[in-house]
Amino acid sequence: MRYLHRFLFILFVVTAAFGQAQRPLTFDEFIRLGRVGDPQVSPDGSTIAFVVTYHNKAENKTNSNIYTVPTSGGTVQQLTTAKGANFNPRWLPDGKTLAFISTRDGEAQIWAVNVAGGEARKISSISTGASDLQVSPDGRWFAFSSEVYPDCTDDESNSKRAEEVEKSKVKAKIFDKLPYRIWNAWKDGKRNHLFVLPVGGGKPFDLTPGDYDTPPVDLGGNWSFAWSPDSKEIAFERNTDPVVATSTNNDIFVVSVTGGVPKRVTENQGNDSQPLYSPDGKYLAYLQMRRAGFEADQKQLILFERATGKCTNLTEKFDHSLNEVAWSPDSKFVFFNADDKGNESLFKMTIETQHVEPIVVTGYTHSIRVLPDGKSVVAAREMINHPVELYRIDAGAKSELKLTSVNDERLGGIAMNAKEEFWFKGAGGTRIHGFLVKPPAFDGSKQYPMILLVHGGPQGQWGDQFHYRWNAQLFASRGYVVVLLNPRGSTGYGQRFTDEISKDWGGKPYTDLMAGVDYVLKTFPYIDGSRVAAAGASYGGYMINW
């Protein structure tokens, strides 16, 4: 028996050591992670619907489905199981039905499902597909966008035109208008239009006919249209300049749900985006860039009083560019996030006093949804060593409750280090912010190669983010010390700092980066100065070649 006890003790020690052993993150493990997004709060505030997308490397395909979780925490339930893309969940006011977009039948269409169970039913059958789904507050209408031929007046003619193009033996493309391509997709003469459709189904109605894109092709923000609280009108973005490719002049318009000529709300020559009605219907908030033709100007929060037409800049004294905005149910507050010294921080503003209160200032906090009590929000949170999960955040107590753990099991046994930050002097003595990530199983007595990552934009930032394109952990897992610098032109340090890259791409930003490299080589003895690499894309690629 004594020998058996010894054997069990040895077995326990070996098992415990094996269980604690951690390994570096591989690309295959990284690509298998579930990507969490688009949380939507049920009308009674009890449940969150959200999307998880998985990538299948072997099949070179992605699959997304919709899940639910109680806002108080609890078991995650999978709501859809169909192959393809099931996304854009939106609650109907009854709280029992969830509408969403699905490609299960091929083209993206609107579907609806009872959250208590049952089969999903197809609502739309528009030949050009549906995207950007929104439900009217009264529950009578769906609004969505679809890319159509502007001279086609109905779905039948759009379908016929698409069929003619597909069957034509001539595959050459003729363009007489810019832009002719958006990233990797041809425009092919189509325009984004905004449609409404009865919730029970029927024939979609085009609210924005004509040769304009709604939503616009660029700088549209996290959403491009919104319902008024009484469900009688929709505010949307549109660029009416003759050459959209060289313009940032998106404006806000409103149109009746029954159609008619849209009414222009903004006359600003810069970019106006992300319209959002206050719940009491008195205001229309939106984000504004003042400078024409400048896509990286500060995005400020403007409050348009619908009864008088008066506009108020609520963020005149806030020197960061806003990303998302969400109203409190009583219309007295707004929650918003902004790039903030390597974080995407969450703030709360009192409308009457314009007082801004920081709520969460670590990591990246986004996809902000306010709960009916107005005191808490549900948001997506991520850090450089932790992918996106959903959290409930109490704005008063500034406390967090983790709601999802989609990737906990997949990340079990994988070593990922948190970021470490530092400051140094760049061009002209200006303080520059930097971060580094050490490789797994780091040993301070050893020396490691270093890789400098240069971010794109150029107006952007590195920070405490689990980046799916430039993931610091993947570089660190190969044994590198990863260095991330925010030189002149980066966001999150005030608009003046961002502007300093304009007409000086290879000047002060280059000096900042080289000063940062010199600093880390002198400061951190574990970095081997004879083994230094650099990588970047977009502006980052420009700087690598510079």
Q: How many domains does the chain have?
A: 4
Question: 211 and 293: one domain?
Answer: yes
- pLDDT tens profile 267-325: 999 999 999 999 999 999 999 999 999 999 999 999 999 999 999 999 999 999 999 99
In a domain, 538, yes or no: yes
Question: 128 and 75: one domain?
Answer: no
- Among 373, 389, 414, the domain-final residue is 414
What are the pLDDT tens digits along the chain (546 aa)? Answer: 444 344 333 333 333 333 456 899 999 999 999 999 999 999 999 999 999 999 999 999 999 999 999 999 999 999 999 999 999 999 999 999 999 999 999 999 999 999 998 899 999 999 999 999 999 999 999 999 999 999 999 999 999 999 999 999 998 988 888 888 888 888 888 999 999 999 999 999 999 999 999 999 888 777 899 999 999 999 999 999 999 999 999 999 999 999 999 999 999 999 999 999 999 999 999 999 999 999 999 999 999 999 999 999 999 999 999 999 999 999 999 999 999 999 999 999 999 999 999 999 999 999 999 999 999 999 999 999 999 999 999 999 999 999 999 999 999 999 999 999 999 999 999 999 999 999 999 999 999 999 999 999 999 999 999 999 999 999 999 999 999 999 999 999 999 999 999 999 999 999 999 999 999 999 999 999 999 999 999 999 999 998
Question: 532 and 402: one domain?
Answer: no
Q: Report the CATH number that the domain containing residue 291 is assigned in CATH.
A: 2.120.10.30
Question: 529 and 406: one domain?
Answer: no
Q: Report the CATH number that the domain containing residue 437 is assigned in CATH.
A: 3.40.50.1820
Q: Which domain holds residue 268?
A: 124-161+181-313
Calpha distance 423→429 (Å, rounded): 11
Question: 307 and 343: one domain?
Answer: no
In a domain, 227, yes or no: yes
Question: 241 and 272: one domain?
Answer: yes
Distance from the Cα of residue 171 to its chain's centroid: 35
In a domain, 16, yes or no: no
Q: Which residues contact 386 (CB under 8 A, 6 or more apart)?
A: 416, 466
Question: 238 and 188: one domain?
Answer: yes
Question: 129 and 256: one domain?
Answer: yes
Question: 336 and 424: one domain?
Answer: no
Question: 384 and 477: one domain?
Answer: no
In a domain, 506, yes or no: yes
| pTM of structure | 0.93
- Among 313, 346, 362, the domain-final residue is 313
Both structure tokens of 1: 């028996």
In a domain, 503, yes or no: yes
SS3 content of the chain, % helix, strand, coil (to 5): 15, 40, 45
Q: Which residues contact 149 (CB under 8 A, 6 or more apart)?
A: 157, 158, 161, 189, 190, 191
Question: 238 and 261: one domain?
Answer: yes
Question: 139 and 268: one domain?
Answer: yes
In a domain, 489, yes or no: yes
In a domain, 440, yes or no: yes
